[in-house]
Amino acid sequence: MDRYVLGRLLGKGNFAKVYHARSIVSGEEVAIKIMDKDHLSKLDVTHHMIIREIDIMRRVRHPHVVHILEVMATKTRIFVVMEFVGGGPLNDCLIHRRIDEASARRVFQQIVCALDYCHSLGVYHRDIKPDNILLDAVGNIKVADFGLSALTDTAQREAQLHTVCGTPMFIAPEVFQRCGYDGAKADVWACGVLLFRLMAGHFPFNHKDTNMYHMIHRCNYRCPRWFSVGLARLVRRMICFEPARRITIPEIKENIWFKDFNEIQCSCS
């Protein structure tokens, strides 16, 4: 850590705190995720889980995914140095409001392109939400926080996942059922909820309602009247109770609403 000057706190979660920092050598701005080993052990976060997250972030090199730069450790702490994304989390832009359709489409396109690439590597995020989508200085997004992600090799690509994890408002119904689930389909559900939130200004299911899980299982929601026909159709195909009937990422990329005014190039290369 001698090569960096630590700055302000950018955010914190259950497992770590993230600080702004600057390289003494190059002057480059970075973000440093600091994890206390004793705290991690109290939360039953194993060394294997930390190594897995770091390994996944090193594998996923995409314009719309936060890049990991280096990892350091002492006897008591782990430091993960990442690129600094200056615009902050998408959630900060959504407090008590919604965004226009063109802006929502642009954000959504970039998230889908990032996930398409992740899925091609056998990586499933499992915690897509506004807090984990960062904005750069010009409004492009970076998917962050792979702490709950799953990594499967080629031979296991069709195998189902079983860990129940994520943020309740974004968890697909089949994940709650504890019978195994497709990581890609679970990510699509979360993206559908996120797209709904971007455009509606609220969630499809009332998170303050004690019957929220019942509402999710019944897919009991309505698209607001200001949703365009194409947007409403896409949302309904994403927030679809039956995974087998839920739209896939490749199908989303061919969707008319998604492709309209498409200003970015999606690539898995």
The CATH number given to whatever domain includes residue 18 is: 3.30.200.20
Residue 42 labeled ligand binder = no
Please state the domain count of the chain: 2
What are the pLDDT digits (tens) for 190-230? 999 999 999 999 999 876 656 777 778 778 899 999 999 99
52 and 97 belong to one structural domain: no
Beta bridge partners of 70: 81
| Residue 104 placed within a domain | yes
Q: Does 269 have pLDDT greater than 80?
A: no
pLDDT value of position 209: 59
Residues 186, 104 share a domain: yes
Are residues 135 and 98 located together in one domain of the fold?
yes
Write the single-letter amino acid at 176.
Answer: F
d(CA 16, CA 19): 10
For helices 183-200 and 101-120, give the axis angle rounded to 10 degrees. 170
Encode pLDDT of 55-90 as tens digits.
999 999 999 999 999 999 999 999 999 999 999 999
pTM over 0.75? The answer is yes
Domain ends where: 83, 105, 140? 83
Show which of 19, 51, 83 is a domain's final residue: 83
Residues 77 and 103 in one domain: no
Average pLDDT over residues 147-170: 84
Quote the pLDDT of residue 159.
73
Domain boundary among 83, 110, 137: 83
Q: Do residues 51 and 158 share a domain?
A: no
For residue 267, what pLDDT is reported?
44
- To the query of whether residue 44 is one of the catalytic residues in this protein, the response is no
Same domain, 36 and 96: no
Residue 268 lies in a domain: no
pLDDT exceeding 70 applies to what percent of the chain? Answer: 93
* Nearest one of 23, 107, 109 to 72, comparing CA atoms: 23
CA angle, 186 as apex, 183 and 189 as ends, to 5°? 155
Q: Which is catalytic among the residues 116, 127, 145, 187?
A: 127
Per-residue pLDDT band for 249 (boundaries 50, 70, 90) equals: very high
pLDDT for position 266: 52
Give Cα 120 distance to the centre of its chain: 16
Are residue 190 and residue 248 in the same domain, yes or no?
yes
**60: domain range?**
4-83
- Does the pLDDT at position 265 exceed 70? no
SS3 201: coil
Angstrom distance (rounded) from CA 59 to CA 119: 12
Identify whether 182 is part of a domain: yes
